[in-house]
Chain A
């Protein structure tokens, strides 16, 4: 049972480039989340989804987009990478908004 899988594990982008961070879960969870973790800080919510076709903004959505066409997948898109987006990105899922989160192993993104 893989749980929550994120790819890639590491990525270096140049300013202005675009990329998609992939997230897939095999637990049939309806709720999925994207967080970013900056050095010395806790996690901040970027976007979340309560089911296929439904997404909503979190605390820090600017510069990002998401889609949720299936229950399993919740990709995060960076359109014009900026140095401020250098961070570790975590995808998480849960089977209810009141249920514990299951996290992926994170993607370390550097924008130079």
Chain B
């Protein structure tokens, strides 16, 4: 069965610095999607970034970028120039190409120090 592992329950970073959140997954599939979602204290899940497994180029959205290593089954999120508003829980999620179900990691709590 597919699993998603986030090994860092909590991370902290100084405002304006860069932080990387780790995610590994286990699958035997070749076609799938990977996601990072942000959950601020308001509780609402917000999509941060998405990566298609067939794309070799790493996805980027403004200050957020990923390091997708397909062979290593690793999907880390890099946040540059951290801002106070980035403080939240971050969840990594996986979905097979032909399946509706998202498999979620347990989350990483990101603390931004002013």
A: which residues have CB within 8 A of B? Answer: 31, 33, 40-45, 48, 50, 58-59, 88, 90, 92, 97-98, 100-101, 103-106
Chain B interface size range: 20 to 34
Among B94-114, those with CB < 8 Å from A are: 100-107
Cβ-based interface call for B21 (8 A): no
Which of A40, A44, A59, A90 sits near B45, CB closer than 8 Å?
A90
B91 at the interface (CB under 8 A from A): yes
Alpha-carbon gap, A101 to B104, bound state (A): 13
The answer to whether residues A100 and B100 also contact, given A42-B105, A42-B107, A105-B42 and a CB cut-off of 8 A, is no
Q: A42-B4, A42-B91, A100-B50 are in contact. Are A92 and B45 (CB under 8 A)?
A: yes
Which of A58, A97, A101 has the most chain B CB atoms inside 10 A of its CB? Answer: A101
Q: Is the CB of B100 within 8 A of A101?
A: no
**Given A100-B50, A101-B47; A45-B42 close (CB under 8 Å):** no
Give 8 new A-B contacts, CB below 8 A, not counting A40-B107, A42-B104, A45-B102: A31-B100, A41-B106, A42-B93, A43-B91, A43-B104, A58-B101, A90-B45, A92-B45
* Contact A40–B100 (Cβ < 8 Å): no
